[in-house]
Amino acid sequence: MLNSSTYIARWLVPFILIMLITGCKNTSGAMQNPSPAPETPTPPTLAVTGQTVTEVPGDQATPTPAAHNPNDKVSLASAESGGKEEEQEPAKPPASKPKIDIQDPYNQAKPTLLGLTLKSSPETVTDKYGDPKQQFQMEDDTDPITVYDYTDFLVGFNKNNELQFIDIRSSEINPGLNGLKLGETTSDVFKALGKPDSNTSYVMTYKSKGAILKLDIDPKSDKINSIKLFAE
């Protein structure tokens, strides 16, 4: 019985030693080469360009160009121009009015208006008042009239280049009627020119040799709204 136990013990001791040695090696290997931790997946990268959102994995996120929108340039240009103050052109001085120098005021023996007599030439008018603002022609089968427009007054010439009429358009100028101007009353007409040859609620006229001075009257306000001198 003792011999059998001794025999078993002899075999168990080497077996235990082998197991211990093997176990130490495995433990040492496990300590020296730990198992790699599981990789955490990299969250996808969102590339945003314009209005396009593209999901790109990992570090390879590359912006995806947005579709071309022609309104983008317009909007950008509008934004840039809106941020700048508009350049304003310097105010232009008001156009100078022709200087009215009345040396020969109206009288029935020698009817004038603006110091001009009928049958004056275009050169006489332009020498006195400069070039007109514009020029146009009134068509007439028998005698077309060329009109010089000076804004405040008009003058018209017949086909023989003779002054045919003068039409006052502004109350700011002195037409040379002894101080009488547009916008004044009929009582002012009597004071400046005397009794007219013809007088109605609408028109007052003064006749001279070869000429007629016509004053149109507004019956409601009793004021002059037109002054004309024209060939008879």
Please give the backbone phi and psi of residue 159, each rounded to the nearest 5 degrees, phi first: -65, -15
Encode pLDDT of 110-159 as tens digits. Answer: 899 999 999 999 999 999 999 999 999 987 768 899 999 999 999 999 99
Q: Are strands 203-208 and 198-199 parallel, antiparallel or unpaired?
A: antiparallel
CATH (residue range 122-231): 3.40.33.10
Total-model pTM: 0.58
End-to-end CA distance of the chain: 175
In the chain, % of residues over pLDDT 90: 48
What is the residue-averaged pLDDT of the chain?
75
Which residues on adjacent β-strands are paired with residue 231? 211
Separation CA 158–CA 180 (nearest Å): 28
Encode pLDDT of 160-197 as tens digits. Answer: 999 999 999 999 999 999 999 999 999 999 999 999 99
Domain ranges within the chain, ordered by starting residue: 122-231
How many residues does the structure list for the chain? Answer: 232
